[in-house]
Structure formats: structure tokens, C-alpha cells
Structure 1
Amino acid sequence: MAKTVLIVGANRGLGLEFAKQYAADGCNVIATCRRPAEAAELRRVGVTIEALDTSTSSSIEALAKKLADESIDVMICNAGVYGPRSDGLTDMPTEDFDLVMRTNVLGPLRLTLAFAHNVARARGAMVFLSSRMGSIGTMSSSSGIAYRASKAALNAVVKATSLELGKKGVRVMALHPGWVRTDMGGPQASLTPTESVAGMRHVIENASDKHGGFFDNTGATIPW
């Protein structure tokens, strides 16, 4: 029986590449984006596309209701924003900081609550796209402070989720995709989306830790 994969934030970049690779392997892919009518490349992949705005609780609740009877083998939360670019500690408009935290932290938390039973039913995996920039243990720069803070907070959500859902056989993990040539990573990045996603898929398939982990695209553990 084909695996069902839910990819949140799949209209471009890593989310789109996840959709392409899982679809090519014959998985039942449910890919979300805010405006399906504008997701021309995603439509060409041949997956089920659902509208979802992770910043709106009603949008998450609507999709959860629609997929209530679906067993989800892998849920990938890819939706995220970088926010204000900064070289060090700096103030910023409240609305800019709120957008980063709402998108990168509150959205994933709400998704966890909405789809926990779907993933637990399949004894599957919940995967959250994080970043090495959110690692407090390895931090050596204060640049991008809003993004760093949001990913550190996301990692706390991941760990807390693992403590509850790990008991139900769900593998929960935060993944650092590497430096990837996407809109966020820029053209000088060292990895293509194809390389990054292939590596992360291998990590997802082979992870056995049900107590939460933070890994890079090669499977190496990153300190929280």
C-alpha cells in the first residue's frame, strides 16, 4: 500500500522538491500551499493540492477536518519565513517579529495538534524543517536574530511533541536541510534542492529515535 505524505508549504523550493521525489516513488502526496491556483509547477507534479494558510487556525482546522480519516505516514512541515535581515542584535517592527514567530513556531504547533492522530494512526513520522541557526549549542553569530529565535523555539516544540507522540510510536524530528540553492539560501549555496531533499528523505526513513532529534541532511546530530 502506498504511503501517504502530507507536505505543508509545497509550492516552491524544498517543499516542491519533497513533493516531486515522493510522488516519483509512488506515494500518495497531499501538498499544501496558500494559493493553489497560482501553484502551476506543483500542479504539474500530479499530486493532491490543498489550500492551507498556516498562520490562520481556521485554515488548519478546515484541512484537518477534511483529512480526518486519513492515515499519514510522513508529515513534513516546511512552511517558514526568514524575516528581517540583520547582522547583529537589533530592534525591529513588532509586526515583523510576530510574523516570523507566528509562521515558524505557532503554525507548526497548531499543525502538530491538528494532525497528531493521523500520524499516530500510521505510527509515522512528523518532520519539521528547522535550521542550524536555531542551535543554541553551536551558535557563533548573532545575525538573523528573529529567525534564530524562531527556529530555537520550533526545536522546543519538536522536543515537546516527541515526548508525547513518541509514546504512540511516532518519530518526531527537526531537520537542517543544509545550505540550499533556494530563494532563502541564495544562488551561492552548496546544495541543490534535489541533493538536500534526497538526504533528508534518507534520514526520515532511517530514524528510529522516538524521543526527538535534531539532524542535518546527512543524518549527523546537531546540538539543540
Structure 2
Amino acid sequence: MTTVLITGANRGIGLELVRQYTAEGAQVIACCRDPAKADALKELVASSDGRVRILQLDVADETSIASLKDVLGDEPIDILINNAGIGSGGLAASSIEPNNWMTATRVNALAPMLIAQTLRDNLKRSTEKKLVAISSATGSIANNRGGGYAYRASKAALNSGMRGLSRDWYDDGVIVGMFDPGWVATDMTAGQPAYISVEESAHGLICQIAELTPATSGIFQDYRGVRIRW
């Protein structure tokens, strides 16, 4: 049975990934900051025949990441999906704010690297060995049109880090994928026009993750499999 660990699993794309992977028969480890308030996740646990577990994880807290490893021990993880992330508002070049920038970078770029590093052996012990980061097309330097500077920079940093791991961990058999989920209707995009549903995005992501191979490790693409310029 495939084991999938998903961060930021209490809402939006993360929650839908839990729902769809569970429907496919996977064993899902759903991580979020406050399990006590994750009512939708609890409903999935109740209907999953024991295939969904909720574990506490604050991705911005190194102690929390270490505690997650303590709970998991040497359990193999086939697919590790770094989904947790935050927006930073529509910051313009005239309103760069240091704390905002550093928080976005810590959560969106550094946390996935620390989680990958901490759970590397769990990935290596598995059959699929897939490390996935939910990125954003706005992290493409080639397509950068300005605005949202902190968010764009954090996603570009995420892509750079994951691209590096795809090379450094190649001999371990770890396959790395970076995906733009599309402009999805979630809490993060509330009040803005969104083009696709969370169900469509999650389905596309799962299909593309299934198609990842050593030959495509380190590729930046969207939920449809369309490659994105760096």
C-alpha cells in the first residue's frame, strides 16, 4: 500500500489531496498545525477505515519537524508532498516589508527543505521515493511580471532548492517534482477570480505525481503536466 504524507492537509488543496488519495486506497499521513480544529480531516479519518492519520506539524517550527520524525521513526513514505504554504499579499516594489518577506521565505522555501532533509531516510526506505513540492508559476523568474515580491521570491527559492535535491539525491533513487497547482479557488485566493476547482487541481496533481520518473525528476510543471519556464 502506498503511503503519502501531506503537509497543510487541513484545507484547500491539501485536504482534497488527502480525500482523493484515500479514495484511491492509499495510506495517508495528514499533517497540520492544529489537529484539534481540523474538523474536515477528522471526518475523513472517521470514514477511512484507518487509512488516514492526523499528525501535528508546524512547518515553521524546527522542533515540530523533529517531533514529527520522532513519531514516524523509520516508517517508509512513498510520496512526501510539501503542500503547506502562505501568501504574502500583493506587495509592490514600494512596500517591501522585511518580516513579511522572511516569514514567506521560511514557510514556503525553507520548511520544505528541512522537512525533506528530516524525512530523507523515510523516503529512501519506500518503494516510490517521491518528493513533491507544491510551488507556483509565479515563482518562475522567466515569467516574472512584478508584484507579490515576497511570495514570488519564496517560490523561486523553493524551486531552486528542490531542483538541487533532484540532483544530489538522484543516486538514492529519490524522484523530485515541483508543481504549479493552477489558479485554484481556495482560502488563499478568496476574493480573487479562480479558474479551476480544488478537485480538478488535486486530481491533476495526483496524475502527474504518478507519472514522475527519474528522467523527469527536477522538472517544474503544472497540474496538467505542462512544463514551466524557470
TM-score where L is the length of structure 1: 0.95
- Cα pair 1:84 1:96 within 8 Å, conserved: no
In the TM superposition, residue 91 of structure 1 has moved relative to its aligned partner by 3.2
Cα RMSD of the aligned pairs, angstroms, is 1.2
Q: Pick one of 61, 72, 75 that aligns with 1:56.
A: 61
Tell me the secondary structure at the aligned position of residue 84 of structure 2. Answer: coil
* 1:196 paired to 2:201: yes
In the TM superposition, residue 3 of structure 1 has moved relative to its aligned partner by 0.6
* 1:182 paired to 2:186: yes
Structure-2 residue corresponding to 1:30? 29
Q: Pick one of 217, 220, 226 that aligns with 1:220.
A: 226
Tell me the secondary structure at the aligned position of residue 184 of structure 1. Answer: helix
Give me the whole-angstrom Cα distance separating, in 1, the residues matched to 2:36 and 2:118. 24
Structure-2 residue corresponding to 1:115? 119
Q: Where does structure 2 lack aligned partners over 5 or more consecutive residues?
A: 46-51
- Cα pair 2:78 2:129 within 8 Å, conserved: yes
More deviation, 28-37/88-97: 88-97
Structure-1 residue corresponding to 2:140? 135
Task: Count residues with an aligned counterpart.
Answer: 221
**Residue type matched to 1:212 in 2?**
G
- Cα pair 1:178 1:196 within 8 Å, conserved: yes
Give me the whole-angstrom Cα distance separating, in 2, the residues matched to 1:65 and 1:27. 22
After TM superposition, what 4+ stretches of structure 1 lie above 4 angstroms from structure 2?
none
**Residue type matched to 2:173 in 1?**
G
Tell me the secondary structure at the aligned position of residue 80 of structure 2. Answer: strand
Q: Taking structure 1 as reference, are residues 10 and 18 closer, same or farther at Cα in structure 2, changes over 3 Å only?
A: same
* 1:73 paired to 2:78: yes
| Deviation digits for residues 167-206 of structure 1 (CA, Å, limit 9, x no counterpart) | 2111101100011011123362111111001001110001
Structure-2 residue corresponding to 1:11? 10
| Deviation digits for residues 28-56 of structure 1 (CA, Å, limit 9, x no counterpart) | 10000000000000111112000000111
Structure-1 residue corresponding to 2:49? none
Give me the whole-angstrom Cα distance separating, in 2, the residues matched to 1:174 and 1:210. 10
Tell me the secondary structure at the aligned position of residue 48 of structure 1. Answer: strand
Tell me the secondary structure at the aligned position of residue 90 of structure 1. Answer: helix
Give me the whole-angstrom Cα distance separating, in 2, the residues matched to 1:220 and 1:198. 15
More deviation, 187-196/128-137: 187-196
Give me the whole-angstrom Cα distance separating, in 1, the residues matched to 2:193 and 2:162. 30
Q: Where does structure 1 lack aligned partners over 5 or more consecutive residues?
A: none
**Residue type matched to 1:116 in 2?**
R
**Residue type matched to 2:84 in 1?**
A
Give me the whole-angstrom Cα distance separating, in 1, the residues matched to 2:161 and 2:199. 27
TM-score where L is the length of structure 2: 0.92
Give me the whole-angstrom Cα distance separating, in 1, the residues matched to 2:84 and 2:28. 16
